[in-house]
Structure 1
Amino acid sequence: MTTKSWRADRLSRLGSSIFAEVAEWKRNAAARGLDVIDLSIGSPDLPPSPAIRRALGQAALREDAYGYPGSKGTPAFLQQAAEWLAFRFGIAIDPEQELVSLMGSQDGLGHLALALCNPGDIALLPDPGYPVYAAGLALAGIEPYLMPLRAENGYLPDFSAIPAEVWARAKFMLLNYPSNPVSAVADLAFFKHAVEIASRHGVLIVHDLAYSEMAFDGYRPPSILQAEGAIDAAVEFHSLSKSFNMAGARIGFLAGNREAVAAMRELKANIDYGVFLPVQEAGIVALAEDMRGTGPVVGPIYEKRRDAFIQALREQGWTVGSPKATMFLWAKLPDMRWELADPWNSRRISREMLERAGVAVIPGDAFGAEGEGYVRIALVESEERLREAAIRIGEFIRGER
């Protein structure tokens, strides 16, 4: 009898399995009775506003809410998204031609290369970068070219280091500011330069702006679509998951270059029937609330958590940089006060920290080779729990756990 594998080879090219691996570490720790403080996954621990929840609940009770909603998004949601973009960034987007709704931005990022690329194309990706960037290329059979993001350059890519032959084959370049995992930010001058460079080479810029509303210290992240010429040279992903605590609802949208948006619309018309209608109606309320200034203000909440946790870590002997945005800390590995037979690295420290201290983080190498030497810490617990996590981490660093 011939033995066949029922697992596609491409699954092995999807990148790091660290999230599943850390989930197993957490299960094992909990089974041993450890109280796990989970700072690994960037899933908001707070609910959406009462108005958002009411809109979702009321819509879900309607008898007419359960048909196919349409893959591109309802006219009402697309119009509200366009109005919010104008309110927030001062940009004019045609909801009929330059917007498409998504089941969260990860939906779009995972399918992007299938919609835009042909065999032989290259896509430029950040390293470190969110794992779905590379996974989407693997599914489409597209080769990545990695742009190193390093602290000495403010975690911005060096466009001049990209060879001419790479630019010639590249179909799109993916940027992400404020960024996951490194929590770096970029100003409008950087985006203007990126648009100029990419336009010169005929490369589409894809900007992931999932953390636009999670900024601190008075900083307001810009949209790449504010840069001159960007509507012809770029598309941008937006998500309601983090900004409005709607991660499980799965809703976001893609805006910008109409040919690229149309390609995404065409692909999605063949693979799904759109975002559940009540979720779109809840999304409308979320965006409208924000425009009225009555919606949930997540930035100040995470800013207070950032400040409390960084101070508590400093008191324990681990100095971590203070990011201007996102819900993450990108932390260089601490100076360990005790030694193991094997060398310390990001994965070893992450696992030992969970097993000994009950604090879960994600090792930096899960996001690319440039992430080695760092861990990503999500600020998804209360200030009290974050302070407790810092005390446990300090004991772990000193070898007391």
Structure 2
Amino acid sequence: MSHIQVAQRVTRLPPYLFGRINKMIYDKRTAGDDVIELGMGNPSDPPQEMVIDKLAEAARDPRNHRYSKSNGIANLRREVGAKYFKKYGVRLDPTDEVIVCLGSKEGFSHMCLAMMGPGDTAIVPSPYFPVHVYGVALASGNVITLPVANSDKFLSDIAYTCETLYPRPKLLILCYPHNPSSVVVEQGFYDEVVKLAKKYGLMVISDFAYADVAFDGYHPPSFLASKGAIDVGVEFTTMSKGYNMAGWRIGFCCGNREMIQALATIKGYYDYGMFQAIQIAAIVALRHTDAAVEEQSVIYQGRRDTLCDGLARMGWEPNVPKAGMFVWQPIPEPWRSRMSTMDFAMMLLEKGNVAVSPGSGFGPAGEGFLRMSLVENENRLKQAVRHIKQCLKEAEDEWTAKGEVTTEAGKP
């Protein structure tokens, strides 16, 4: 049998860390087990009926089954521009400063391909959403990760990196509300980012996937709302979260027209655009469902409170997020010292039928944390907490039965 030598860009990718968990979820569900899925941020609520109705209507029009434009139909791009002006006060030219993507993840990956090459370096916040690192790697670029927890220190670390690294980094990738850690920022943070970008010649990509999901009166700011931002970067948004249209794969990239044009060039070679009926339905969603998007945040806030309250009653110390679809939960002692984050997550799945994302799947800085999504309803979240509590009790009893005594350091 001949050996097939794949491209180096593929061999640079590490093994998929969530593969073990996904396989166990599949095996358990095949065996009839009821697995509570808190791992993936995959919305379980449906889009609005009027949006689904418009999709069905548009799908019956024969004209919508032709190839579409790879950058999106004009009316949808205009609607995106209208939302930016209404919500953030940002004026965008829908012809040159807005492009439609097949989900923001596709757009981000192709933007990396358009902007990066061998020898180029990107700064990425850590812990990181995997595509922020591997989208750069697939474009043959290098990555420097900087801790995201303290926003002021993150800014100073960016400046220090640009001052000391030669050649200087070419790209700065941002993600607020942050996935996975749920760190948030105010507009002043982006003002400083623009200053740094202009000083050091950085291009900026803002991943604004959780723009529509926020709690307790917090309003996530847009990078593009900072003065001069459009001179140095772009922002990706999506209809997956607040609009419950994840499987529809509708994303947008807005901002610097040269970067938009570069992305359009790549997309022109790779795809023929999104199914036009979906784009028409997306126009209806953007135009008429603002109230439903706000209500969805209220639903997520209720789920957040249910999960965090349950974890607190269990003796954990939850990080209560102000935005996003996840709780970034530190694993308490003695479990943190007893086993790796992956092993802890596998134990919850194997013995408790609760699937979570191990923090180590988001880079070394995620070790010791779990990412727990808010996609299940409140009753299911309460059930998940009960299962976790019982699972840990049974594991503790097993250790005790084996004569393993926990020391003050938390190690058996």
TM-score range, shorter chain: over 0.9
- Cα contact 1:175–1:207 (8 A) shared by 2: yes
Alignment-derived partner of residue 239 in structure 1: 238
**2:320 aligned residue:** 322
2:299: which partner in 1? 301
Q: Which amino acid aligns with 1:275?
A: M
**Which has the higher mean CA deviation after the structures are superposed, 390-399 or 186-195?**
390-399
Partner of 1:91: 90
Which amino acid in 1 is paired with 2:313? Answer: E
Change in 2 beyond 3 A, CA 1:25/1:9: farther
Q: How many residues align?
A: 395
Q: Which residue of 1 aligns with 2:270?
A: 271
Contact 1:41–1:378 (8 Å) recurs in 2: yes
1:182 partnered with 2:177: no
Q: Deviations over 1:302-330 (max 9, x none)?
A: 00000011111111222211100000010
- Cα distance, 1:286–1:14 mapped onto 2, change above 3 Å: farther
Q: Are residues 15 and 106 of structure 1, via their aligned partners in 2, closer, same or farther at CA, if it must alter by over 3 Å? A: farther
Q: How far is the alpha carbon of 1:55 from its aligned partner?
A: 1.0
Deviation of the 1:136 alpha carbon: 1.1
Match of 2:358 in 1: 363
Shift in Å, 1:234: 1.6
Q: Which residue of 2 aligns with 1:331?
A: 329
User: In the alignment, does 2:383 pair up with 1:384?
Assistant: no
Q: CA deviation at 1:198?
A: 1.3
Deviations 1:9-57 (A, max 9, x none): 4223234512332211212333454321011111000000011111111
Equivalent residues of 2:104, 2:252 under 8 A apart:
yes
RMSD: 2.0
Range that drifts further, 108-117 or 363-372: 108-117
The answer to whether the Cα contact below 8 Å between 1:36 and 1:359 also exists between their aligned partners in 2 is yes
User: Which of 381, 388, 410 is equivalent to 1:393?
Assistant: 388
Q: Distance in 1 between matches of 2:158 and 2:113?
A: 25
Greater shift, 390-399 or 57-66, is seen at: 390-399
Q: Is the 8 A contact 1:336 1:397 kept in 2?
A: no
3-state SS of 1:319 partner: coil
Q: CA deviation at 1:111?
A: 1.4
Secondary structure of 2:210's counterpart equals: coil
**Is the contact between residue 162 and residue 168 of structure 2 (CA under 8 Å) also seen in structure 1?**
no
Establish whether residue 78 from structure 1 lines up as the match of residue 77 from structure 2.
yes
What is the match of residue 399 of structure 2? Answer: none
Opposite residue 349 of structure 2, the aligned amino acid is L
**Structure 1 residues 273-320: Cα deviation after superposition (integer angstroms, max 9, x where no partner):** 1111011111111110245x4556211010000001111111122221
**Take 1:44 and 1:283, find their aligned partners in 2: how far apart are those partners?**
17
Q: Which residue does 2:215 correspond to in 1? A: 216
Contact 1:185 1:324 in 2 (8 A): yes
- State the alpha-carbon separation in 2 of the partners of residues 57 and 189 from structure 1: 43
Aligned to 1:56: 55
Q: Report how far residue 109 of structure 1 moved.
A: 1.3
Contact 1:317-1:394 at 8 Å conserved across structures: no
Amino acid at match of 2:228: G
Cα distance in structure 2, aligned partners of 1:128 and 1:304? 26
Alignment counterpart, residue 354 of structure 1, candidates 349, 358, 362: 349
**Structure 2 CA distance for partners of 1:84 and 1:334, relative to 1, 3 Å:** same
What amino acid maps onto 2:392 in structure 1? I
CA distance in 1, matches of 2:43, 2:265: 31
**Amino acid corresponding to residue 362 of structure 1 in structure 2:** S
TM score, norm. by length of structure 2:
0.91
Tell whether the 8 Å contact from 2:177 to 2:183 is kept in structure 1 after alignment.
yes
> Contact (CA 8 Å) 1:16, 1:367: kept in 2 or not?
no
- Distance, in Å, in 1 between the alignment partners of 2:147 and 2:182 is 15
Maintained 8 Å contact 2:356/2:371: yes
Cα distance change on mapping 1:16 and 1:331 into 2, 3 Å: farther
Distance 2:14 2:241 in 1: 24
Q: 1:156 to 1:16 in 2, by over 3 A?
A: farther
1:14–1:378 Cα change, 3 Å: same
Supply the AA of the counterpart residue of 2:315.
G
Partner deviation per Cα, 1:356-382 (whole Å, 9 max, x = no partner): 101000111111111111010011101
- Give the 3-state SS of the residue equivalent to 1:162 in structure 2: helix
CA distance in 2, matches of 1:25, 1:258: 45
Residue 12 of structure 2 is matched in structure 1 by 13
Alignment of 1:279-298 (within 5 A): 279-291=278-290, 293=291, 297-298=295-296
Contact 1:204 1:234 in 2 (8 A): yes
Q: What pairs with 1:26-45 in structure 2 (closer than 5 Å)?
A: 26-45=25-44
Gaps of 5+ in 2: 397-412
Question: Is the 1:85–1:91 contact (alpha carbons within 8 Å) kept by the matching residues of 2?
Answer: yes
Q: CA deviation at 1:8?
A: 3.6
SS at 2:94 equivalent: coil
SS in 1 for 2:381: helix
C-alpha distance 163-200 of structure 1, shift in aligned 2 (>3 A) = closer
- TM-score, normalised relative to structure 1: 0.93
Q: Is contact 1:335-1:397 (8 Å) kept?
A: no
Higher mean alpha-carbon deviation, 369-378 vs 33-42, is at 33-42
Q: Deviations over 1:70-102 (max 9, x none)?
A: 111101000011001111111000001111100
- Secondary structure at the aligned position of 1:352 is classed as helix
Aligned counterparts of 1:86 and 1:6: Cα–Cα separation in 2: 50
